[in-house]
Amino acid sequence: MNVETEVKISLESVDDFIDLVLSHGAARVSGRSFEDNILFDFPEGSLKFAQCLLRVRSVDGRGVLTYKGAPQPDVIFKSREELETGIESPETAIEILGRIGMMQGFRYQKRRQEFTLGGVHVAVDETPIGNYAELEGPEDEILGLAEKLDIAKSRFINRSYYALYLDYCHEREITPHSMIFQGNVY
């Protein structure tokens, strides 16, 4: 079983964080790219009820179809089964899912840059609700990297972008809809 284990960290400055990981020997995996993510569920909400998700991610005209299982109970990390496969046409995948009766749900966008450092995949995300780093890998390697970067465990966030978005809207008394950029995304 493929298990994704990760934490998010809120960032004050994307550039400062990238400089920090590069100064510790990180290798760049991808440059800054725009991602558009759409979650899908059955009309009765069975995936959401089971705390699972099905996502179509579009990046530069190509896509990834992802299934994530229910998160395992953990106070520090978010760990869950993850299955992914590349898709040539995200638009066609979205149409297929609709034709089999699935409904589009939460949509979220971000600008992402990716790095590796040791055994940890580091994603730096600029979102409409703030900037975050995601550290993904084995728990001990995430903890080791966080220590190396002087990031306290108290800064770890094990919540989804959907949950963070709902908090953001609640704090500002905004009706939640989709976490998307307004205007030019670059």
What ranges do the domains of the chain cover?
A: 3-172
Q: What is the 3-state secondary structure (H, E, C) of the chain?
A: CCEEEEEEEEECCHHHHHHHHHHCCCEEEEEEEEEEEEEEECCCCHHHHCCCEEEEEEECCEEEEEEECCCCCCCCCEEEEEEEEEECCHHHHHHHHHHCCCEEEEEEEEEEEEEEECCEEEEEEEECCEEEEEEECCHHHHHHHHHHCCCCHHHEECCCHHHHHHHHHHHHCCCCCCECCCCCCC
Residue 178's pLDDT is 96
Give the pLDDT means over successive 10-residue stretches in the chain (186 positions).
Answer: 93 98 97 97 97 96 96 91 97 97 98 97 98 97 97 96 97 96 68
Residue 126's pLDDT is 98
Residue 186's pLDDT is 47
Q: Which fold has domain 3-172?
A: Hypothetical Protein Pfu-838710-001 (2.40.320)
Q: Which two tokens stand for residue 186?
A: 């670059």
Residue 184's pLDDT is 57
Residue 61's pLDDT is 87
